[in-house]
Chains A and B, each alone.
Chain A
C-alpha cells in the first residue's frame, strides 16, 4: 500500500462536478499544490466546501476566479470580491453557513451523525427552511450533515502512512474534512517516515488518508 503518489497520479481523480472539501482559513492551511493541479486539470462545475473563499490569488479563491466552481458552501466571502460578483451575476451559487455550524455539519457528516442542534442562527435568515426544536425551553436549529467526494488537506508534517501533524493555526477545518469525504488527499509540507512522529501529537491518523503528495 503506497499512498505517496506523484502529482500526475492525482490528476485522473479530478473530474467535473466533484464535491470537494478544502482545508484552510483565509488560505492558511490550504493545500496550494493540489489547487494548482485542479487549475491545470480545468475541471468544472465543482461544489466547494470550505471556511471562506480566501483571496483572489490564494487557495479556494483561485478556483472561484478561474470559474471552476458551480456552488460554494462557506461562512465568509468578504475577502474575495470575485465571489460576490459571480454570486450577483448568477454564475455561482453561494450557501452561507455560520462558521461554527458549518464545521459541525462537516463533523456530523464524518462522524455518522444525523445532524446537529445549534442555537446559532435562531431568529435569523439562517433559520429559513430548517426545523426548529424546542429543548428545555431553548430553541435550536436542526442543521444537516454534509459530506464530500474528496477532501483536500494540508499537513505540516506527514508520515508516509498519512499520519498528520498541523502547525499553528493551519489545523482549522483540516481534521474534520479528513473524516467527511470518500477520498482524502493530504499535501505534505514536510514528509517523514512512520515512527518519526510523536504518536500522541498526531491529529489526523493515517488510516483516514488515501493519497499523499509532497
Chain B
C-alpha cells in the first residue's frame, strides 16, 4: 500500500503533467492546491481563485502576507505581475462561461457515469457546495484528484450514493494508483502506478474498470 502522504504527492505530480501552456486553471482546496508546486518546465499557466483573482502565486512563494489578498481556501496569497482582481459575479462568469480551461477538485465519491459527489454527507457533514458546482459545470475539463479509497473503501463506484455535485461532468480521475478516463463505455484505466497491479486496483474499485489496450505506467 502507498501511504496517504506519498499518495497525495504522486497525484499532485501526475495531475501537473496535464497542464498546458496558456491555460486558465482553477485548483480546488486541499490536495489539488499542491499541483501548483509541480508545474512542468516551459509551461506557463494562470491560476484563478474564484473569490476574485487571476495570477495566483504559488503558495510557497508568497511570503508577503497581505490580508486583502486571499485564495478560495482563506489563505493569504500573492499576485503575479500579470494578475487581476475582480468581483464574484465576473469570477463565476469566467467559470460558467467556459473561460476556465481546467479545474481540478477532490471528491467524496465518483462513478462510472462521470457523476461527482463532493459537498455533503447528509446528517454528518454539510460544508456546502461553495463554488464546486459551478466549476465542474463550466470548466472545459474536469479532473478529479483524490486518493483511490477512503479508509480502505472504494470511492470509484457503480453509482454515487451521496447527493451529487453535478452529473456526468468528470473527464479524468487521477489517484495514487492510476489515471482513469471517463468514457461513454465506462471508466478506462489508462495508466497504472508501477507499485500496484491491475488486480489490486480492480479490487479497490467498485465498478467495472476497463483496461486500456495501450495501458501505460503512470509517469510521476
A interface residues, Cβ below 8 angstroms from B: 25-29, 51-52, 74-79, 84, 87, 94, 96, 98-101, 103-104, 107, 118-126, 156, 166-176, 203
Contact = CB atoms under 8 A, between A and B. Distances in A.
Contacts of A79: 74
Contact of A123 (B51, B67, B79, B164): B164
Interface of B: 49-53, 66-70, 72, 74, 79, 85-89, 91-92, 95-96, 120, 125-134, 137-138, 163-167
Nearest to B49: A169
Contact of A76 (B52, B67, B127): B127
B79 to A, nearest CB: 7
B164 to A, nearest CB: 5
B129 A76 contact: yes
Given A156-B68, A169-B49, A176-B87, 17 more contacts: A52-B130, A74-B128, A76-B128, A98-B133, A99-B134, A100-B88, A104-B92, A120-B137, A122-B166, A124-B167, A168-B70, A168-B85, A169-B52, A171-B85, A171-B87, A172-B88, A175-B87
A97 to B, nearest CB: 8
9 contacts: A26-B51, A26-B74, A75-B129, A79-B74, A96-B129, A98-B134, A168-B68, A173-B87, A176-B88
B131 A172 contact: no
Contacts of B128: 52, 74-78, 96
